[in-house]
Amino acid sequence: MLIIFLSNYSLKLKDILNDCHFNTLRACLTNTQAIDIFNKYLYPAASECASSYVPGMPTNVHTALANIAFAACGTLNQYVNMKALLKKKDWQSASNELKDSKWCRDVKSIRCNLDATCVVSER
């Protein structure tokens, strides 16, 4: 799968690994390619994960959940208490649960606070 993905961007795994090993820049993605990968592959997968975690959430909440899902859909699915609170539309408690999560400790305050604010903004 990775080889096919890379070939879509005229890249070879061998060249990328050589860049890493020799600290060269011969097999780098362009900004356009990076944006294309985000729009075609990364964001749709994170958004789908957020939608399946708690369907029908308001846009702000969905955006926060998709941001968490970038770490991996499994990461988002670990937060069962937050999921229950979101289903009850208890935005403040869900936001507090997010702030107290391992994900928030890992990503630090700015990103965490932005997402927690998105969740609580629905009250």
What are the b/e assignments for 68-92, b being 16+ CB within 10 Å? Answer: bbbeebebbeebeebbebbeeeebe
Give the percent of the chain with pLDDT over 90: 55
Q: Collect all residues with Cβ–Cβ distance below 8 Å to 104 and sequence separation of at least 6.
A: 98, 112, 116
The residue count of the chain comes to: 123
Cβ atoms within 10 A of the Cβ of 117, count?
12
| Residues 4-19 pLDDT 10s | 777 888 888 888 888 8
Give residue 1's pLDDT band: very low, low, confident or very high (50, 70, 90): low
pLDDT at 80: 95
Domain around 69 = 2-120
Query: What value does the CA radius of gyration of the chain take, rounded to a whole number of Å?
Result: 18
Instruction: For 38-83, write each residue's pLDDT tens digit.
Output: 898 889 999 999 999 999 999 999 999 999 998 888 889 999 999 9
* pTM assigned to the model: 0.79
Query: How many domains are contained in the chain?
Result: 1
Number of H helices, E strands in the chain: 10, 0
pLDDT of 2: 61
